[in-house]
Amino acid sequence: MDNAVGGEVKNSIMDMHSLKEHFSYLGDSYVGRWVNIGAGSVTSNLKNTIGNIRYMGIDTGMIKLGSIIGDWVKVGINTSIMSGKYIGQGSSIVGLVRDNIPPFRICVNNDCEKLRIDKVIEIYRRFAELRRMSVNENEISLIRAVYDFSLHEASS
């Protein structure tokens, strides 16, 4: 069992072990590995003004660009992500996402708190077990390394 995809997907890439099984929309986006996208969630890929979309403060020159969703992200049900938004690795989001989300955060409507590494690993373990896949210690080591690196980057 690898990826499971349902609902509407347009011009998007999903890395391994990610799920988007329910009715939702994923357009012009990238989804990392071990991501779960909840039912009814939507990635906007077009601004209401039909203008160019900015990504990380840079004008992309594109009028269609969805989300860049990092590894180990959990997107709650009925979450709406505005066009051109970045969702950092290991984050858990729900509600309306209007801003970029740094790695390892838990956010409700862009109100975010830091997510502890032990919680991120616990969520990964549960997700792997839910998918009837064995927990990979190398994946856990990678989560820890990315977490440590993101702490270093945040303090620089």
The residues annotated as belonging to the active site are 22
Q: In terms of Cα–Cα distance, which of 5, 3, 29 is closest to 16?
A: 3
Q: DSSP letters along 101-152, please?
A: B-SSEEEETTEEEEPPHHHHHHHHHHHHHHTT----HHHHHHHHHHHHHHHH
Q: How many helices (H) and strands (E) does the chain have?
A: 2, 18
Q: CB neighbours of 134 closer than 8 A, spacing ≥ 6?
A: 128
